[in-house]
Amino acid sequence: MPMGWFRRSKTHRQMALIGPAVLFLAVLMLIPIVLMGYVSFLERGEFGGVRWSDHTVDAYVAFLFERDFDGSLQLNTDYLQIFLRSFWLSIGTTVLTLLVGFPTAFYMALQPPRYRNLLIFLVTIPFWTNLLVRNYAWILLLRNGGLIDSALAWLGLTDAPISVLYTPFAVAIGLSYSYLPFMVLPIYASLEKLDFRLVEAAFDLGADRRRALARVIIPLAAPGIAAGCILVFIPSLGAYVTPELLGGGKSLMIGSLIQNQFGAARNWPFGAALAFALLGIVLLAIVIYLLRFRRSPGEMT
């Protein structure tokens, strides 16, 4: 038989294999995204919902401006401040999980193979418990008179309530705890493949531990570090449960704002526009990652 027939047959088999996944993504992800984008350009209904026949860009204008009594536009940075707060809390969460996750992953990679599976198992144990339950546990730990507050007072380290709960710091703690495994596992996957003979060569050439870490280990683990940062930053940016419970409504983030627009405010176009802005930030982070690490690790500088 001609070679072209074999190539076409192979292509058909590949299409048959990926077809269900493509259909699944198209129905459950692509179509809702397109619908959400269309809703963001519709007029808000008088009692909620949308007016399907009226198209406008007011939802996107409302992100930075609000209409005065005479109909003129006035600058309003309230929503921009929420985005910036979410951005900085996500950055802080990413940095904190990196500071904790990299040494943890490095320690795991240095252990004998028979212990590594046990350590991976221990890292993934938090996933066995619902996120809502874990956040309520943090409320018991961080509240005034809670376990941490009582322990600090018993040790004589504080003479007043710590008042940590319902602050941005409490939100950062909850987010870091929730997404720490997403930082540890990608970094461990990179470090596990590391050829430690390169580290020994660095020591033979006169490098100390700090230089070996900075010039050999971290550059080779960079793809895992970047993947971990994205896996932590993106869900932290759109988090809803943790800011609601540990922030107490005082540290409003993007996820809570979107929920309020689709819920209490019943402003579906503005909620859809906010969701699209969040989607744009997520896609930008993914594109940056793909552009930076599209080459093989050996070709990176």
1-25 pLDDT per residue, tens: 455 544 566 677 777 788 888 888 7
The rounded percent of the chain whose pLDDT value lies above 90 is 11
Q: Does residue 82 register a pLDDT over 90? A: no
Nearest to 79 by CA among 59, 95, 93, 99: 59
- Average confidence score pLDDT of the chain: 83
Q: Does residue 297 register a pLDDT over 80? A: no
Please name the fold of domain 78-299: MetI-like fold (1.10.3720)
pTM: 0.81
- What digits encode the pLDDT tens for the residues 142-175? 888 888 888 888 888 878 888 888 888 889 999 9
Residues of the chain with CATH 1.10.3720.10: 78-299
Amino acid type, 94: T
pLDDT at 299: 46
298 pLDDT band (50/70/90 cuts)? very low
Instruction: Confirm if 276 and 35 have CB atoms less than 8 A apart.
Output: no
